[in-house]
Amino acid sequence: MAIFGFKTGTAVGLGVGYVLGTRAGRERYLQIMDLWTKVRRDKRVGTMIDKAVGLATAPVDQMRGMIGNGLRSASDTIEQRTNGG
């Protein structure tokens, strides 16, 4: 059982991040952002991000297709029954 709920845990995490960030100062922030920019430009990281996005969106696309097919089928059934077919 979790000690904190999602909202409470998120608020605590944001608070801790804010405090640590303000203690680190602007110079450290800029160093971290520079490192992040370099990491993001790395081709290997870009490839991994693209794969992760593909994995995350594939189920959504599949679900949209299934819902669309179900709606078409239901529509066809209703049309057949209301037209006496």
SS3 labels along the chain: CCCCCHHHHHHHHHHHHHHHHHHHHHHHHHHHHHHHHHHHHCHHHHHHHHHHHHHHHHHHHHHHHHHHHHHHHHHHHHHHHHCCC
- Are residues 37 and 69 located together in one domain of the fold? no
- Are residues 32 and 15 located together in one domain of the fold? yes
For the cut 60, the answer to whether the pLDDT of residue 81 exceeds it is yes
Q: Which domain holds residue 62?
A: 43-85
- Are residues 18 and 47 located together in one domain of the fold? no
pLDDT digits (tens, 9 = 90+) for 47-78: 888 888 887 777 887 888 888 888 888 888 88
pLDDT digits (tens, 9 = 90+) for 13-43: 777 777 777 766 777 778 878 888 888 788 8
Answer yes or no: pTM beyond 0.85. Answer: no
Q: Specify the pLDDT at position 15.
A: 79
Q: Specify the pLDDT at position 24.
A: 67
- Are residues 80 and 47 located together in one domain of the fold? yes
**Number of domains observed in the structure of the chain:** 2
- Are residues 47 and 85 located together in one domain of the fold? yes
- Are residues 30 and 59 located together in one domain of the fold? no
Identify whether the C-beta of residue 29 lies closer than 8 Å to the C-beta of residue 21: yes
